[in-house]
Amino acid sequence: MNIAILGWGSLINEPRDLPIKGNWQSDGPELCIEFSRISQRGERADCLTLVIDERCDSTVTVLYVLSKRSNLQQAIEDLRQREGTELNNIGFYQVETERVAPIALRRHPKSCETIQIWAQVKDFDAVIWTALSRRFKDAIGIPFNPSAALNYLNGLCAPTKEKALQYIQNTPPQIMTPFRKLLSAQLEMTTANTRA
């Protein structure tokens, strides 16, 4: 069984013990990805992180790599362990049975449909991905938009902001979301003002 693992954030540069074979490929499916989750625990607590967010208008082409596993349940468990999350936060699509992870289907139905089509075109047997929910408004009480996210980032204490910026800078260049474009513009303006 050929199982593809989708990635768009730290998973790519920090696979840790995730059993993968080959290199990350840049021609994954086009998904609605945005920095609209505020992490609550671990080293990135309070940082903005990437999730599938279908309330965002734009899409980006995500990356993928093959799992070393030939068993779907093992591959799902590998990703669950790497992400340090619950089993129901791992999305999957099995081509032969047309099974889709129920919570992923509820959280991002359009993306599940895109992944299904992409998996069939690429001739994969299954695809897995991290299917966390967005968590911005729940965390700080205001709806997500790029400007609100930038204000949130700018208001973080220095050590947390540094970690948040590091995460964003380590994200593959092709994951250029509306928030990331806005942040890049701010950083360019700050650099220009410093030189002036």
The domain of 175 spans: 3-195
Nearest to 32 by CA among 91, 89, 108: 108
Cβ neighbourhood burial of 45 (10 Å; 0-12, 13-18, 19+): exposed
Return the pLDDT at 140: 95
What average pLDDT does this structure show over 126-150? 96
Instruction: Say whether pLDDT at 60 is over 70.
Output: yes
Residue 12's pLDDT band (cuts 50, 70, 90): very high
Render pLDDT for 63-121 as a digit per residue (tens, 0 to 9): 999 999 999 999 999 999 999 999 999 999 999 999 999 999 999 999 999 999 999 99
Residue percentage of the chain with pLDDT more than 90: 93
What average pLDDT does this structure show over 150-168? 97
- Number of separate domains in the chain: 1
Q: What mean pLDDT value characterizes the chain?
A: 96
Return the pLDDT at 190: 77
CA 120/CA 101 separation, integer angstroms? 17
What average pLDDT does this structure show over 149-159? 97
Return the pLDDT at 195: 67
Return the pLDDT at 7: 98
Q: What is the pTM of this model?
A: 0.95
Render pLDDT for 66-75 as a digit per residue (tens, 0 to 9): 999 999 999 9
Return the pLDDT at 189: 84
C-alpha neighbours within 13 Å on the C-beta side of residue 42: 12
- Residue 95, SS3? coil
Return the pLDDT at 196: 54
Q: Is the dihedral of CA 84, 74, 22, 172 positive or negative?
A: negative
Beta-carbon contacts of residue 12 (< 8 Å; ≥ 6 apart)? 24, 63, 172
